[in-house]
Every structure is written in C-alpha cells, then in structure tokens.
Amino acid sequence: MPHDTALAELASFLGDRLARSKPEREAHGRSETWFPETPPDAVAYPETSAEVSRIISTCARLGCPVTAWGTGTSLEGHALAVRGGVSLDMSRMNRVLAIRAEDMQAIVQPGLTREALNSDLRATGLMFSVDPGADASLGGMAATRASGTTSVRYGTMRDNVMGLEVVLADGRVIRTGSGARKSSAGYDLTGLFVGSEGTLGIITELTLKLHGQPEAISAAVCAFDDFEAAVRTVIATIQMGIPMARIEFVDETGATVFNAANGTDLPEKPHLMVEFHGSELSAAEDAKRFGEIVAEMGGAHFDWATTTEDRNRLWKMRHGAYPACLAFRPGSMGLVTDICVPISRLAEAVRETRADIAESGLTGPIIGHVGDGNFHSVLLIERDNAAELKAAKALAHRMAERALRLGGTITGEHGVGMGKKDLMEMEHGAAWEVMARIKRALDPDGILNPGKVVEVSQ
C-alpha cells in the first residue's frame, strides 16, 4: 500500500485516530457533487495544533500528501485527496476558544461549524455573519474563501477572518494577523492563507470578526414577470445606497423546485428574496424604499416575512436549494457552478446563461447572491449519464468564459478545487504562475493538497 511507512509512523502516535478502514476512507473520498470517488490512504483525526504539526512533519519527511477535510460540503472537490495520502479530518478540533464580546471577536478551532458558533453566540447579542448555506466548518470556509447570502452586507471570509494559526508544510506553526481591526505591518499573510484551499498551510485556529445581531430585521419575497426587472431592481437598490443584508435571485425553475420541496405556492416566475437589518426605524425605512423600487420595476406578489418563523422558513427554503434541486430530479447528481460579474453585466450574464441552459436540454435552476453579481447554476445530471455530464461540463466552461468576457471571475465563492483548475490560466494569465511560485516557496515538496489551485512541476 502506498505511504505505508508514513502511515505506520502516524499510527504510532495517533493510535486509532488514524483510520484505514474502507468505509472511513470512502466517506472521505466522496464530495457533494459529481466528482469521482477518490478515497485517501488513511484518515487522521488530530486533536491539537501540535498534533497537526507532528502529522505534517512526518508526512513531509516521508513524502506523503496531506489534504484537510472539514465537513465535506465543498462543491468543487477541494477536500478530495487526488494524489492519495492522508485526509486530515479536523472535526475533533471544534472548540470555541474565546469569545471577546467587547472586541466583537471569536477565537475558534477550524472544525467548529458556523451554526455551532452562532448557537454559542446567541446570548451575547453577536453573530458570525458568513453564511454559505451548508453548515460548513469555519476552517474549511476560510480555506475556500466562502461567502453566501449575507456577504453583500457583511463581507466574505476575506473580510471576516482577522487572524490565523497555520501549520506550514514543514510542520512549523505560525500566527498571522492580530486582535486589531487593521494592520499595515507587512504582507497580508492572513489574506494569503484565506482562499488557498489547504495548499499553503493547514489552518489550526481562527480569529473571526463578529457583528451585532440586528435590532430589527425585515424580510420579503417578491416576484417579477421577467428576470431583467428583478436584476434592475437589485442595481437600483445598490445605487440608492440602501443597505441590503441579503438579496437573492431565484429564477422560474428555482421557484418550481422550491414549491415542490416545500409545498409552497410561489408563482413560477423570477423572484427576489431580501432582508434588511438595522434599528426599527432604519430597517423599516430601507424596506419601504426597496418596496418603492420594486413597484417601479413592476414587481408584484410582495410578501413581507414579519415574524421570526416566517423569516426562518424563507431562508431555510433558500438554504435547502441544493437538496431540493436533487430531489426534483430523482436519481440525479449535481454539477453546481458559480460565476461572479460586475453588477452592470449581471443581466447579460444571466440572460446568456439561461439561453445556454435551455439549449443544452439540461434542467438547471439559476439561483444567486445577486447583490454581489454572483450566481449559481445547479445542473442536474442523471447518474452515469456520460453525455449529460459532458454537456454540463461544457456549459460550466462557457459560463466561466462568459464571466471573464464580462469582466468577472470564474468563481465568486465555490473556489477552484478540482472543478476549475483548468480555467485558472484563462482568468489569471501570468499571475497564475506567480501563484505557483508562492506555492513552491511555502510548500517546496508539494505535500499540501497536491494537484489543486496551481500547477507545479515536481
């Protein structure tokens, strides 16, 4: 078996926290989407940073790849150990280490999930804002630079990670950032590790920015006769400077999928789902001004979710979009792809993508965080249908090309993983080689999540 020496040495100090059974390996070889199963050679369950450091040192010395694993909810196969070696499952490092309410910060371990953190925060009046839908691990969210429904107001992981503890490829442990809200003290290493997908170091601790729980929340869902009116509403709202906490677009197919999964009766039309946070006065004012824009753009069926229960139902429906899509076509798997464009090109990007999906014959709702210019297609593929998979991949490729043509990016929030590495040179040109130089400088032996993000010859 490959890497036997390394695995034996790891077992010597991890004991039964180094799992080599088939079911464990298979569970860490699967992703949420279409990628083929690629089980690692073993799964390690560290409990401390020192243990992570020892694992990495051992693996570095013996040439065994290490790929970190959070909750496995990534959509681009980031956590799959495509070159074998060890899957580093961080789920036992899931503690809240400190909540510094006065500084609006939390210090957490990477295996903690965002919902668990928010549950701990409930009584403090604070919240952690980044919300990718899935109850992902915070380490994984940082590693993939996750964002989600509330990023239009509170930012992505780039904006909400203040500092990190990271184990480097040689086993050394460093700290980046500080408890201060800003710094000019040298290169932004925190920002470099956030979004590096476990290829430059393993995150073992995070200092996160918290926000006050809003005093008042108003949320609504409204329908439009055509998607362009919905997009124009978003642009006008941004330009009026109305601070949206969430603004989500759902197309006709999405509305149909939601009705099927939730027993709702949304009109089968494009929708916007919005939320405003503020004082009683300002949230009401924002909602009123937004309502005026919607009316002007011809929106209708405007339903305010006034109670907490109504609001929870609304966002639960939105967060359940992916399983709802899979259930809509039984026996399917998803190829979920996202792009992000400047807001002025959003209507064009959605229009062309809709036409492209229609022509492909695939079922694929468009759902997105349109306040950021970011949207997803959930392409539903029959399992083992090579022709459909091929068509979906081609469609995703065209979406990425479209994003670049319109001045955007091949992925707003899902990351590179296995799905988008082949598109990186198209987006970055010579800058992609600069990324590879950084990878070689920090991980010269290519131990950390090899085969992802950059191309290095080794």
Quick one: which segment of 81-89, 112-120, 144-152, 309-317 binds a second copy (CB under 8 A)? 144-152
- Measure the CA–CA gap between 396 and 375, rounded to whole angstroms: 12
- In the complex with a second copy, the residue whose CB is nearer, 188 or 303, is 188
Least gap, CB of 4 to a second copy (angstroms): 32
- 2 neighbors 81 (Cβ within 8 angstroms): no
Does the protein bind a second copy through residue 398 (CB under 8 A)? Answer: no
Among 93, 341, 367, 395, binds a second copy (CB under 8 A): 341
Least gap, CB of 208 to a second copy (angstroms): 13
Q: DSSP character for 36?
A: P
Distance, C-alpha 263 to centroid of its chain: 27
Q: What angle do CA 46, 47, 52 make, to 5 degrees?
A: 45
β-bridge mates for residue 378, sequence order: 336
Q: Which of residues 366-395 bind a second copy (CB under 8 A)?
A: 372-374
Among 8, 48, 50, 172, binds a second copy (CB under 8 A): 172
- In the complex with a second copy, the residue whose CB is nearer, 50 or 281, is 281
- In the complex with a second copy, the residue whose CB is nearer, 79 or 453, is 453
Does the protein bind a second copy through residue 123 (CB under 8 A)? Answer: no
- In the complex with a second copy, the residue whose CB is nearer, 38 or 151, is 151
Q: DSSP character for 409?
A: B
Q: Which of residues 3-32 bind a second copy (CB under 8 A)?
A: none
Q: DSSP character for 421?
A: G
- 65 neighbors 450 (Cβ within 8 angstroms): yes
Does the protein bind a second copy through residue 185 (CB under 8 A)? Answer: yes
* Strand pairing report for 86-89 and 66-69: parallel
Q: Which of residues 235-264 bind a second copy (CB under 8 A)?
A: 235, 238-241
- 4 neighbors 18 (Cβ within 8 angstroms): no
175-183 — which CB contacts under 8 Å span 24+ positions? 177/207, 179/100, 179/103, 179/105, 179/207
Other C-beta atoms closer than 10 Å to the C-beta of 196 total 28
- Measure the CA–CA gap between 58 and 31, rounded to whole angstroms: 27
- In the complex with a second copy, the residue whose CB is nearer, 382 or 455, is 455
- In the complex with a second copy, the residue whose CB is nearer, 187 or 263, is 187
Q: Which of residues 434-453 bind a second copy (CB under 8 A)?
A: 434-435, 437-438, 440-442, 453
Least gap, CB of 446 to a second copy (angstroms): 15
Does the protein bind a second copy through residue 351 (CB under 8 A)? Answer: no
- 283 neighbors 394 (Cβ within 8 angstroms): no
- 46 neighbors 2 (Cβ within 8 angstroms): no
- In the complex with a second copy, the residue whose CB is nearer, 70 or 84, is 70
Least gap, CB of 415 to a second copy (angstroms): 4
- In the complex with a second copy, the residue whose CB is nearer, 326 or 406, is 406
Does the protein bind a second copy through residue 149 (CB under 8 A)? Answer: no
In the block, tokens 């009584």 appear at 123
Does the protein bind a second copy through residue 348 (CB under 8 A)? Answer: no
Among 26, 50, 181, 323, binds a second copy (CB under 8 A): 181
- Measure the CA–CA gap between 158 and 5, rounded to whole angstroms: 38
Other C-beta atoms closer than 10 Å to the C-beta of 10 total 26
- The token pair that represents 301 in the structure block: 């069926």
- 288 neighbors 276 (Cβ within 8 angstroms): no
Does the protein bind a second copy through residue 1 (CB under 8 A)? Answer: no
Quick one: which segment of 65-73, 172-180, 297-305, 382-390 binds a second copy (CB under 8 A)? 172-180
- In the complex with a second copy, the residue whose CB is nearer, 67 or 144, is 144
Q: Which of residues 69-108 bind a second copy (CB under 8 A)?
A: 100, 102-105
**Window 268-297: contact mask with a second copy (x via CB under 8 A):** ----------xx-xx--x------------
Does the protein bind a second copy through residue 188 (CB under 8 A)? Answer: yes
Does the protein bind a second copy through residue 36 (CB under 8 A)? Answer: no
Least gap, CB of 128 to a second copy (angstroms): 15
**Window 189-228: contact mask with a second copy (x via CB under 8 A):** x-xx-xxx---x-----------x-xx-------------
Does the protein bind a second copy through residue 455 (CB under 8 A)? Answer: no
Least gap, CB of 382 to a second copy (angstroms): 28
Quick one: which segment of 3-11, 62-70, 254-262, 341-349 binds a second copy (CB under 8 A)? 341-349
* Alpha helices by DSSP H, 122-251: 138-143, 151-154, 157-160, 189-193, 227-239
* Strand pairing report for 126-127 and 211-212: antiparallel
Q: Based on C-alpha coordinates, what's the Rg of the chain? A: 22
Nearest Cα neighbor of 336 from 302, 364, 305, 374 is 364
Quick one: which segment of 42-50, 52-60, 258-266, 420-428 binds a second copy (CB under 8 A)? 420-428
Q: What angle do CA 15, 16, 17 make, to 5 degrees?
A: 90
The DSSP element (H or E) to which 218 belongs, if any, is strand 216-223
